[in-house]
Structures are given as C-alpha cells and as structure tokens.
Amino acid sequence: MSDQTILCEQSDSLLKITLNRPDKLNALTDVMLQELQAAFKKAAGDRSTRCVLLTGAGKGFCPGQDLANVQEMSRGGQPAYADHIRNNYNPLILAMTRLPKPIVAAINGVAAGAGMSLAMACDVRIASEKASFLQAFINIGLVPDSGSTWFLPRLVGRQRAMDLMLSGRKLSAAEALEWGLVNQVVPPEQLLEEATKTAVRYASAPTFAIGQLKRNLDYGESHALEETLALEAKSQQECGLSADHQEGMRAFLEKRTPVYKGE
C-alpha cells in the first residue's frame, strides 16, 4: 500500500486525485489538507489539466477531519480549531470552488463532516449505491464547517439541510439522489468507469467558458439580478474572443463535432 496520503494521476487532460488513507476511510490529516490544496492550486494554472476527478481509496470517500489528530491541534489545553480551519480547510475549499475547471466527485463510500463539504465543493457528484452522507459535526458537539453551511442549503434547501445538521444522521445515496445532492447513483463496480466517462467529457469541453460559468454562478448567488446581468454580458464578450468559441461556431456551421482545446 502506498504511504502517500493523496495520489495524483494525470491522464491526457484529466487529473485524478485519490484520497489515500483507506484504513481510516480517508480521514483528513494536515499533510493531506496541504497536499490537496497544493494539487488544486497547481491544477488551476496547469493548462494540461482541464478537469479534476476526486475519489477515495477503499470503502470510504472521506469521514472529515482525522479525529485522532485533534489533540495535536490544542494549545495550552484549548483546541485551536479556528486557526486550523482558517489555514487548512478554508483555503482548500476556496481553491476548489475557484478552480476555473470542472471537478467531478466519484463518491465511493461514506462522506462525513468536512468530507461531505469536500464532496459538495465539487461541481458534479456521482455516487456509488454504497455511498452515504452525514453532517457528523453535531455528533461530536461541533458546528458544520468547511463550507457545509453554505453548500448544503443551496443544494437541498434549508429544511433538509437543517434535518441533516441537527440529526447527524446518514443519508443514503438513493435519498441523496432524490434530494438533488448528487447527479447520479451507480452500482459500486461501475462508479469509476461512469465518473471517468463524465470527467473525460468535461475535460474536452470549452474550459475557458466553464471557468467563467463557475465564477458567474457563485457571483449570482450573492448579487442582485442587475449586477449578475452585467457580469454575464462582460463574460460573454470574453468567451466570444476565445478560440473554443470560434471552433464551436465553425463546427456548428460545418455540421461536425467541435474539437475544443481549452483556449
């Protein structure tokens, strides 16, 4: 077994990142959080990466913070959670949501606490029938962090978010699909194949426009219609200048499939 806490594999334009502590369901350590942050930041500037696929090794996706490490975070007998979250989780979540490229999550097993936040920071979620989701924070007397408070009500509505956050209960993959938390549920043995198919499709899409639409969607969540309309117009102008738009137009007129280069 590899002792690397995350595995990064580049194949054509697709970067696959595997959380790699299978014996602990891929619980997050500081090393892992820093490596993940570095991998997403590198992917942002790397023209050869046009889509990221995130998954977990073994039977879990990610159960959040490694609780065995929590003692190491204390200062003078007091927990130092705020600094830990500010330095490790918040920059990672922002690196993911600001990545101007699509992120597909292949959720192979349980996603709990900050592990559920990681899944929600992805753009597309494909889950195994064996996956489950829990806002585990309340089970240990903590509040949702790493963006769960932001993502979950936006994805499933406040009432359902409140249910999961208050109860700390497990939501099955089937329920997650019904609630719109995941895009697709597949048998476990088909998960990687299906998620890779989707990720490969997005890795050959017009990457510049995808980056713009991710940013514009986030902007629209917190701005007025008038401001969002203004950003859309500016953004459309920029996309209009891209090589991929020219290719898309040519391909349409020539009645062929476009070949996008992500430029």
Binding residues vs ligand T3D (CB under 6 A)? 24-25, 27, 63-68, 73, 81, 84-85, 110, 112-114, 134, 136-137, 139-140, 142, 145
CB of 9 to ligand T3D, least distance (A): 24
Q: What residues contact residue 92 under an 8 Å CB cut-off, 6+ apart?
A: 33, 36, 37, 40, 118, 146
How far is the C-alpha of 141 from the C-alpha of 154, rounded, in Å?
Answer: 23
CB of 186 to ligand T3D, least distance (A): 20
CB of 87 to ligand T3D, least distance (A): 9
How far is the C-alpha of 51 from the C-alpha of 101, rounded, in Å?
Answer: 6
How far is the C-alpha of 60 from the C-alpha of 110, rounded, in Å?
Answer: 5
Q: What is the DSSP string of 92-127?
A: HHHHHHT-SS-EEEEE-SEEETHHHHHHHTSSEEEE
CB of 114 to ligand T3D, least distance (A): 3
CB of 103 to ligand T3D, least distance (A): 19
CB of 81 to ligand T3D, least distance (A): 4
CA angle (122 as vertex; 12, 139 as ends), nearest 5: 140
CB of 80 to ligand T3D, least distance (A): 7
* Shorter beta-carbon distance to ligand T3D: residue 49 or 117: 117
Alpha carbon separation from 213 to 53, 122, 163, 232 (Å, rounded) = 19, 14, 31, 9
* Shorter beta-carbon distance to ligand T3D: residue 23 or 238: 23
* Shorter beta-carbon distance to ligand T3D: residue 170 or 261: 170
* Shorter beta-carbon distance to ligand T3D: residue 28 or 99: 28
* Shorter beta-carbon distance to ligand T3D: residue 15 or 127: 127
